[in-house]
A and B are shown apart, each in its own frame.
Chain A
Amino acid sequence: DQQVKQNSPSLSVQEGRISILNCDYTNSMFDYFLWYKKYPAEGPTFLISISSIKDKNEDGRFTVFLNKSAKHLSLHIVPSQPGDSAVYFCAAVENTGNQFYFGTGTSLTVIP
């Protein structure tokens, strides 16, 4: 059973516009959420995270929003740049565990 879902396999955005990537989860025990970026032939690299006690975390062009009641989080990239083109994974961790649960990923293409 997929506890973390990314329902959009792909997204295309014009350079300079906003990219919004979405993620839904089903497990109410998740208390920490992360976004990873993955280029081909490389491992995922950490991008930004958020604790369940917050509803927003910002780092430069990247902002993650968490809506606990809806069990939904989103990643906003503003402005989008061609170098942002990659596969983005959201991940979640339970408050008692060490296991990361990953979504299936969204492939973002930023068009120059």
Chain B
Amino acid sequence: DAGVTQSPTHLIKTRGQQVTLRCSPKSGHDTVSWYQQALGQGPQFIFQYYEEEERQRGNFPDRFSGHQFPNYSSELNVNALLLGDSALYLCASSFVRQAYNEQFFGPGTRLTVL
């Protein structure tokens, strides 16, 4: 089992550009959550997808959008990048009926905005 995988590992963009990050959930999982972890901070919840719909959203602007595909994989899109968007973006997957402690995280995508 490959666990949760994310691509790319690292990414460098400039201000104003758009970026797409990808996540493949652990086998058997149907729910994907995205988090932003800025340097020296804990992960901040962006949103969660289940059944191809956004199920819950954290306090992030509309520039952050996502998508979940029928195979449960997910994308995170960020438009009009700002310097402050530089962070580690973590994807976590779970099965909707499992307990909270069954959420597994991927290794993250490090985004640098110049």
Residue in B closest to A97 when the chains form the complex, CB atoms = B56
Known: A44-B90, A46-B101. A98 touches B33 (CB 8 A): yes
A99 in contact with B105 given A32-B100, A43-B90, A104-B40 (CB within 8 Å): no
Q: Which of B35, B45, B101 contacts A34 (CB 8 A)?
A: B101
B76 contacts partner chain A, Cβ-Cβ < 8 Å: no
Q: Is the CB of B42 within 8 A of A105?
A: yes
Out of A45, A103, A104, name the residue touching B105 (CB < 8 Å).
A45
Encoded as 1 (CB less than 8 Å from any B CB) or 0, chain A from 37 to 72 comes to 000011111100100000000000000000000000
The reply to whether the CB of B25 lies closer than 8 angstroms to some CB of chain A is no
Interface string of B65-108 (1 = CB under 8 A from A): 00000000000000000000000001010000000111111111
Instruction: Please name all residues of chain A whose beta carbon is closer than 8 Å to the beta carbon of B33 when the two chains form the complex.
Output: 98, 100
Asked whether, in the complex, the Cβ of A34 is within 8 Å of the Cβ of B100, the reply is yes
**Which residues on the B side are within 8 Å of A49 (C-beta)?**
100-101
- Are A93 and B100 within 8 A (Cβ)? yes
Smallest CB-CB separation from A32: which chain B residue? Answer: B100
Check if B43 sits within 8 Å of A89, measured CB to CB.
yes
Contact B100 A4 (CB under 8 A): no
Q: How distant is the Cα of A99 from the Cα of B35 in the complex, in angstroms?
A: 10
CA distance A44 to B108 in the complex (A): 10
Check B56 against A42 for contact (C-beta < 8 Å): no
Nearest-CB distance from A92 to chain B (Å)? 10
Q: Are A103 and B45 in contact (CB under 8 A)?
A: no
Asked whether B43 lies within 8 Å of A100 as measured between CB atoms, the reply is: yes
- State the A residues within 8 Å of B (CB): 4, 6, 32, 34, 36, 41-46, 49, 89, 91, 93, 97-105
Please report B residues at the A interface, Cβ cutoff 8 Å. Answer: 4, 31, 33, 35, 40-45, 48, 55-56, 58, 90, 92, 100-108
Q: Nearest 8 A-B pairs (CB), nearest first?
A: A43-B105, A102-B42, A99-B45, A49-B101, A102-B43, A104-B42, A44-B105, A98-B56
